[in-house]
Amino acid sequence: MDYPELVPGTLRRRYKRFLADVELADGTLVVAHCPNTGSMRAVNVPGCRVWLSPSTNPARKLAWTWELIELPQAAGGVATASVHTGRTNAIVEEALRAGRIEPLAGYAALKREVKVEGARRSDARLDFRLDDPQRGTAFVEVKQVTLKERDGHGYFPDAVSERGTRHLETLAGLAAAGQRAVLLFCVAHEGIHDVAPAAHLDPRYAETLRRVADAGVEVLAYGCRVGRRDERPVTIELAGRLPVSLHREIHDPGLVD
């Protein structure tokens, strides 16, 4: 996925959930839209360099959107993370259509935002449905991962996620009915190299994920790679597959911020 020409700045604060104060290189303080409804635990770090996309739409209240943040790593250097959750499905769709997600390659048709037939809840929608005359149907739910705890590992979710747990139950229902059901973690943080359920933040989600995985729901994780030109981010795409550990937990409270 290509970015528009991004502009660097320094994060000063995120507030009221959807707003972020960012200082541009010339000292101008702008208010940017924060396209992330989550807690943004570990990626809301004032003082870090961020990248904003500009808008030319005069009807927009805010002219800037917060896209990326560069985070210092314990081993040195920085890792870039996407905070724009609205980009996640586009990144995954591009990879699906290009056949870069090997376990999901070879399907003939793709549909986004699909209602699950027979589901009791009106909000039982999943991100993708893949169809093929020979392979049948696969339902895919995508979750963006940006939480890297102080133990060096990646976790999901970054706060209690009742909706995420409902998605797991929907996938489990499909698997029980003989359909292929897949949870795909899109790891949008270049410093994360594996993923586990965040039992220390949402024990119910972690327990449910382990249960549905045992019941036939496939769990995949893929990292993201940010492409640069002259140090400026210009692309983001799905990269290699990452390991998922369903039973890793944080036991040392000192490793949690």
- Residues 19 and 31 sit within 8 Å (Cβ to Cβ): yes
Task: Calculate helix-pair angle for 203-214, 162-176, nearest 10 degrees.
Answer: 10
Residues 6+ away with beta carbon under 8 Å from 151: 250, 252, 255
Domains along the chain with CATH numbers: 7-82 (2.40.50.580), 85-255 (3.40.1350.60)
Give me 115's structure tokens: 């209602």
Rounded to two decimals, what is the model's pTM?
0.95
The pLDDT score that the predictor gives to residue 173 is: 95
The pLDDT score that the predictor gives to residue 162 is: 96
Q: Whose CA is closest to 190, among 249, 245, 240, 248?
A: 240
CA angle, 256 then 238 then 89, to 5°: 85
Mean pLDDT by 10 residues, the chain (257 residues): 96 96 97 95 97 90 96 93 97 97 96 81 82 96 97 96 96 96 98 97 97 98 97 96 93 66
What is the number of helices (H) and of strands (E) in the chain?
Answer: 3, 15
The pLDDT score that the predictor gives to residue 121 is: 58
The pLDDT score that the predictor gives to residue 57 is: 84
Q: Whose CA is closest to 156, among 206, 191, 110, 204?
A: 206
The pLDDT score that the predictor gives to residue 52 is: 98
Helix (H, G, I), strand (E, B) or coil at 242: coil
The pLDDT score that the predictor gives to residue 250 is: 82
The pLDDT score that the predictor gives to residue 119 is: 58
Measured on CA atoms in the order 240, 243, 244, 248, is the torsion positive or negative? negative
The pLDDT score that the predictor gives to residue 124 is: 79
